[in-house]
Structure 1
């Protein structure tokens, strides 16, 4: 069965439990509470085919300015690139790759496109 997040976005490779945990992580991120990275870690470990779990984890690494975090994001996103993802999920991956490479304007343009097509995507 296809899983959707709380905003109605498709979640490739997610079980119902993973979709619920993903929603919890987004809530934690949006109110700066809890540990959304720990949730993302568990999701990537338990559900390696869940594309947005990888995307969430990479974005969380990139929220800071630590160069080691960018390397960790690159490692996470490399696994996601091997998955059969939809265009929204691929857009996140493209934006993350641009950001990792220091192409900030390109990252923002790609993410703007994702947000325009999927205005309820909380990560976009």
Structure 2
């Protein structure tokens, strides 16, 4: 039996109405992962007037989504899409780059792909 690595790391920094969301996903994202992510985002935004979210997503080791998890991801975009200013996606995978273009249809802010973390953070902080 082959062991598959799975990891989800989520960080949220909140300063006034600005929120920095950091996510690192390894392996395949599951519905259970979104049962963790969604309440964290909702809680961070609770009581914040006109929140401005900047997100950085490390997808260098992401292998994909379960179907229900892909639906969960879409629901987050529909619910909070107008609150995202920028989403930086770190990846070298073409299928994720294509997916990020689709993501940009559901959010108001910019979505951009990067090959490394430093460039992604520099762009977020512009």
How would you bin the TM-score normalised by the shorter chain?
0.3 to 0.5
Bigger Rg, which one: 2
Higher relative contact order (CA 8 A, sep 6+): 2
Give TM-score, length-normalised by structure 1.
0.37
Give TM-score, length-normalised by structure 2.
0.37
1 or 2, which has the higher strand percentage? Answer: 2
